[in-house]
Every structure is written in C-alpha cells, then in structure tokens.
Amino acid sequence: MADETESPPKKTKRRRGNTLERWEVAIVKAMFNRGGPFTNDQDILAYFTRPTRSINHRLISEIRHGAKHKSVKPASDDDLDAFLTNWPDIDPETGLNVQGDELLIKAREAMIAAVQTFNSAGLTFRAELFIVTAIIAWTYLLHAWFRREGVNYRYKGQKTKEGAEKYWELGKCLKQSKCPAKGGVKTNLEFLLEIRHEIEHRSTSRIDDALGAKLQSCALNFNELLNQEFGAQYGLEKRLPLALQFVSFGAEQRSALKKASGLPRHIEAAIDAFEHGLTEDEVKDPAYRMSYGFVPIAAKKTGAADSAVRIVSAGSEEADEIENIILKEVNRDRYPPGKVVEKVQAAGFPKFRMHDHTQLWKTRDAKKEGKGYGCIGDYGNWVWFDRWVDEVLTHCEAEGDRFR
C-alpha cells in the first residue's frame, strides 16, 4: 500500500460553553461565605469540573473578587447543604452529572426510548412514535451541543405561556450556521419533521416499513454525532442494538405487511414534495436514507422506493436474481491494492501503475464509508471489491491510450 501521511494533531480549542451556570455561581458564593473547607479556590473548583466541561481555575478567583457575576446573590445555606449532600449527583450508567449534563442525558434516553418503542412487539404505529420521540432526542442533543459551544439557543425576548425561557425547536436548530447536523443528516431530520407535521394533523395508516430506511438512518446518525461530539463512552451501543426491527417472518405478519404496503396519500404527497428538490446523490446518501436491500427497488416515485421490506413470490425471476446477488455480496472477492493494479494491467492497461491507483482513489474519495468500494481487511489493511476494479477499468477506458 502507498504510504499515507498522518495529519498533525489539532490544537485543543477552549469551548465557549465551559463556564458556570447562574445557579452554580450562587453555590460558589455560598461556599465563600461558609469558609472552612472552601477557602481554597482549587478545592471549590473540584465540585464543578466534569468530563463534559472543564472550568478554568481563574473563574473561581474572578467570582471571589467581583470581577465576574457580581450581580448574582449567594445561595442559601439550605441550598448549599442540599448541593453538598447530593454531590456528586452522577448518572450511574454514563457518569454524567444529572443536573449539569441534563440535556445530554435526556437526549440519550429519548433516542433509547424511540428505538425500544419501535422494536416493541404488538405496537401498531411504531413509526409515528419513533419520529416524535427521535425529534425530541435530536432537539436535546443539539441544545446540549449549543450550550457547550456557547451558542445562545433561546428566542430573544420570547417566553412560554408559563413565563419560562423559550428555546429553539429542532427546525430552528438545523438552520443555525454552526449546527453540527449537516448534509444528509440535516436532510434526514428535515424530512422527518415534514412527516411529523403530517402525522400531527392527520391520521395515518401503518407506515413503519415504508419509512424504515429513513428511521434507521436517523438512529445511526444520532449515535454517530453523539460519539463524535461528546465521546464514545456516551454512545448507545452498549445500551441497546441500534438496528430497528422491520421484518416479521410469520405467515400472518407477512399478510399484514402486504395489506399495509400502500402509503397514505398525504404521506406519499409529503415525501414526493420533500424529495422533489433533492439531487440523486442527496437521495442516495445513507445519512438521509439507509439502504437495506441488495437490489435497488424500481419505482416511478422516489418515496415509494423506501420500503425496508419487499415481498416477492418464491421461484420468480426476481427472487432468483435477488438470491444470486445476495450470494455475490456475501462472498465478495477482496483485493489488496497491488492485486487491483495487476488485474487492470492484465485487462489491457499495462501503463497503469500503483501511483495512478493511489491518485485515483484519493481523488474519488473511494474509501469513504457508504461508497461500497472496499473495507478494512482481516489484518487491518484496506482491501478493494470488484466494484472498485470495474470503476478503475472504466476510468482507464476513458483515458484513451494513456494507460495502454
């Protein structure tokens, strides 16, 4: 394999959200007043630093001397005692602080509930329940990210009917320029918001299998962002399988699926309207719609091709074709880079060298997950599939006599 240079480590950037909440400042001031074990700023700091937030020790000194948070009044003795009694108030599963990391804890629990609800036996409207709960999960996750990054996610000057702060809904979060949900992830959530709007205002028949590809992407996208932005220790893999269960194999279940295969007209219209403005690449992006089948399902309308379950008659030509392709996919040949070059040269392109191959896959970003050109082999090295070999041969043909 060609040598790949390693990128220099990124410089750690201090996050704007690494500061104390107003109630915490009040507790700090109460500690100042009590004295005793709270005479040392470093000892006080230990009560407020956690893995998801690193507080600079200078902040405690600035509060003590009135340089910051001068207007905040000290907490009462009872509030300080309650804080110390419950400290450390830690979620036993994740190690997150129950009060300080409340948004992140709620986000995880909401997505866990969404997946478990969808996978629960006996429920009829699983997709609707998943969508509503998953949107809550994503809203909390993005609020947690904005909070950490110091982005104000409140509606300025707006209050709820009860007089509380009014926070951004998911649609508003996605429009924020710094929002970490981008590309196919954002498109997937915008789609589910459209469907949520439909199921809020009109009744639906069963749509679980018709929307399954998008629901699966939503769950996987959530876990990937959670891992990337907050740490792998908070991922959902240990808590539950993230695969949504779409298929039942009994005769009665198959019969029910056949009867439920048609989408309600208003849902189909919502899908068509949303996807009308998407490019082909955006529709195929696995972050938008996870592909389950080995064979693309032909349909005149894009939305009708999203079914995670496709029932075909045994012994039909379509069933035989699917079986052949499944076997081919499972038993793929795998080629190290040198073998790819040998096959291309043997196919009539003797001037095609390893350097040309390396340049080509880098230009095409061919190792990107989801493209299906190859994978990490048994010994940790990248190997290529026949699909990539075909892609290389097509490239060489297009170059005329360059590699002949």
Which tens digits make up the pLDDT trace of 9-59?
A: 444 344 555 677 788 899 999 999 888 888 888 888 888 887 777 777 788
Residues 63 and 137 reside in one and the same domain = no
Contact 103, 140 (CB under 8 A): yes
Using a cut of 0.75, tell me whether the model's pTM lies above it. no
Which tokens belong to 57? 């020790």
Only one residue has tokens 């509503």, namely 132
Tell me, yes or no, whether 139 lies in a domain: yes
Q: Report the alpha-carbon distance of residue 200 to residue 192 in Å, rounded.
A: 12
H or E, element range at 375: strand 374-376
305, 326, 361 - which closes a domain? 305
Contact 394, 345 (CB under 8 A): no
Question: How many helices (DSSP H) and strands (DSSP E) are in the chain?
Answer: 16, 4
The alpha carbon torsion through 58, 62, 68, 69 (nearest 10 deg) reads 100
Asked whether residue 132 carries a pLDDT value surpassing 90, the answer given is yes
Residues 170 and 213 reside in one and the same domain = yes
Section 92-98 average pLDDT: 73
pLDDT for 119 equals 81
Residues 227 and 347 reside in one and the same domain = no
Task: Provide the number of structural domains found in the chain.
Answer: 3
Residues 124 and 203 reside in one and the same domain = yes
Residues 161 and 212 reside in one and the same domain = yes
Helices within 67-101 (DSSP H only): 77-86
Q: Report the alpha-carbon distance of residue 79 to residue 165 in Å, rounded.
A: 23
Q: Report the alpha-carbon distance of residue 44 to residue 29 in Å, rounded.
A: 10
Provide the 8-state DSSP code for 100: T
pLDDT for 313 equals 47
Residues 82 and 121 reside in one and the same domain = no
Closest CA to 129 of 116, 118, 140, 141: 118
Tell me, yes or no, whether 1 lies in a domain: no
pLDDT tens for each residue of 23-35: 889 999 999 988 8
Provide the 8-state DSSP code for 52: T
Residues 235 and 174 reside in one and the same domain = yes
pLDDT band at 172 (very low <50, low <70, confident <90, very high): very high
pLDDT for 208 equals 61
Q: Report the alpha-carbon distance of residue 237 to residue 2 in Å, rounded.
A: 34
- Does residue 172 or residue 126 have the better pLDDT? 172
pLDDT for 307 equals 45
252, 281, 305 - which closes a domain? 305
Tell me, yes or no, whether 6 lies in a domain: no
Residues 120 and 80 reside in one and the same domain = no
pLDDT band at 243 (very low <50, low <70, confident <90, very high): low
pLDDT for 354 equals 94
Strands 165-167 and 154-159: antiparallel
CB within 8 Å of 72: residues ≥ 6 apart:
22, 25, 26, 29
Residues 67 and 172 reside in one and the same domain = no
Only one residue has tokens 């320029």, namely 177
pLDDT tens for each residue of 342-368: 999 999 999 999 999 999 999 999 998
pLDDT for 88 equals 77
Q: Report the alpha-carbon distance of residue 283 to residue 275 in Å, rounded.
A: 7
Residues 219 and 354 reside in one and the same domain = no
Structural domain boundaries enclosing 297: 102-305
Which tokens belong to 281? 């690449």
Tell me, yes or no, whether 140 lies in a domain: yes
pLDDT for 239 equals 65
For the ranges 124-128, 228-232, 324-328, 386-390, which has the lowest average pLDDT? 324-328
pLDDT for 73 equals 92
